[in-house]
């Protein structure tokens, strides 16, 4: 098995079906195979860091509290299924937001690298020991900037982003990406 110690995984369009600003429990629908992929990572002792842009907070569509409720639900459901999320990292900012405290340009919003860099520093991971999986080139750009192996999945926005991606690999979905990572 590869020497991967941790994986950064995007949420919307990678783990769950992209429905645009998912913040309600009833709108949270897993993509087929994503739960199995996360189980596989957990079973192999690979840390899972969910990393997600949540511009809907800055745009006033929902609150950090709403996001927290969905995150708690998701984390609990994953726990029941034997999946351990080590941390959920999110950016509530957007430069075109309407909520003043969140309406800014930042380095935590992907393709900014701040959230990943925090984990790399805290955990002492080397870029060769981690991978990043997402459905947008903004996800992939984070990994590219940091020298991390990247996977673009063709779920969510992946089909339209594959044309000009700089991803290390393009895979059908999260499960296919994790299987490849395990080889």
CATH of the domain at 17: 3.40.50.1000
Q: Where would I find the H helices in 46-168?
A: 55-58, 64-80, 114-123, 137-146, 158-161
- What's phi and psi for 135, nearest 5 deg? -110, 5
Quick check: is 161 in a domain? yes
How many domains, the chain?
1
Quick check: is 89 in a domain? yes
pTM passes above 0.85: yes
Quick check: is 18 in a domain? yes
Quick check: is 77 in a domain? yes
Please say if 135 is a catalytic residue.
Answer: no
Q: Which residues does 115 contact at the CB level (< 8 Å), separation at least 6? A: 51, 89, 90, 91, 108
Please say if 66 is a catalytic residue.
Answer: no
State the Cα–Cα distance between residues 21 and 98, nearest whole angstrom: 15
Choosing from 10, 135, 139, 173, the catalytic residue is 10
- Give residue 1's pLDDT: 43
Choosing from 12, 135, 139, 173, the catalytic residue is 12
Tell me the mean pLDDT per 10 residues along the chain, length 183: 87 97 97 98 97 98 98 98 98 97 97 98 96 98 98 97 96 98 90
Quick check: is 114 in a domain? yes
Quick check: is 33 in a domain? yes
- Tell me which residue range forms the domain holding 28: 6-182
| pLDDT tens column, 109-131 | 999 999 999 999 999 999 999 99
- Give residue 2's pLDDT: 53
Quick check: is 1 in a domain? no
Q: Which residues does 122 contact at the CB level (< 8 Å), separation at least 6? A: none
- Give residue 166's pLDDT: 97
């Amino acid at each position: 098995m590869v020497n991967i110690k941790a994986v950064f995984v995007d949420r919307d369009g990678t783990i769950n079906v992209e429905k645009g600003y998912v913040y309600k429990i009833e709108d949270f629908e897993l993509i087929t195979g994503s739960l199995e992929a996360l189980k596989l990572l957990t079973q192999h002792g690979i840390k899972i860091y969910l990393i997600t842009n949540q511009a809907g907070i800055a745009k006033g569509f929902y609150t950090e509290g709403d996001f927290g409720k969905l995150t708690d639900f998701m984390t609990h459901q994953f726990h029941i299924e034997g999946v351990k999320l080590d941390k959920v990292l999110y950016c509530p900012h957007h430069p075109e937001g309407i909520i003043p405290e969140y309406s800014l340009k930042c380095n935590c919003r992907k393709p900014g690298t701040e959230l990943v860099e925090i984990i790399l520093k805290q955990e002492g991971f080397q870029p060769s020991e981690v991978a990043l999986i997402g459905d947008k080139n903004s996800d992939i750009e984070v990994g590219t900037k940091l020298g991390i192996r990247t996977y673009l999945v063709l779920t969510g926005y992946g089909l339209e982003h594959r044309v000009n991606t700089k991803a290390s690999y393009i895979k059908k979905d999260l499960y296919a990406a994790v299987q490849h990572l395990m080889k």
